[in-house]
Homo-oligomer: A and B are copies of this chain.
Amino acid sequence: MTDVKTGPNPLFLRDEELVQGIELLFYAYRDFTEDPDAVLEEYGFGRAHHRVVHFVARNPGMSVAELLEILRITKQSLSRVLGQLVERGFVVQRKGTRDRRQRLLYLTETGRDLAERLTEPQKRRVARAYRGAGADAVEGYRKVLTGLIDDGRHETASGPVRRR
Residues of A within 8 A of B (CB): 1, 10-13, 15, 17-32, 34, 51, 58, 72, 116, 119-120, 122-123, 125-150, 152, 154, 156-157
Closest to A12 in B: B138
Q: Which residues of B contact A28 (CB under 8 A)?
A: 25, 145, 148-149
Q: Which residues of B contact A58 (CB under 8 A)?
A: 19, 23
A139/B140 in contact, CB under 8 A: yes
B137/A143 in contact, CB under 8 A: yes
Copy total for this chain: 2
B27/A156 in contact, CB under 8 A: yes
Q: Which residues of B contact A27 (CB under 8 A)?
A: 145, 149, 154, 156
A129/B141 in contact, CB under 8 A: no
A64 to B81 Cα, complex, angstroms: 35
B147/A140 in contact, CB under 8 A: no
A126/B148 in contact, CB under 8 A: yes
Distance (whole angstroms) from the CB of A32 to the closest CB of chain B: 6
A129/B156 in contact, CB under 8 A: no
A147/B123 in contact, CB under 8 A: no
Q: Which residues of B contact A29 (CB under 8 A)?
A: 25, 29
Q: Which residues of B contact A125 (CB under 8 A)?
A: 148
Distance (whole angstroms) from the CB of A58 to the closest CB of chain B: 7
Closest to A141 in B: B144
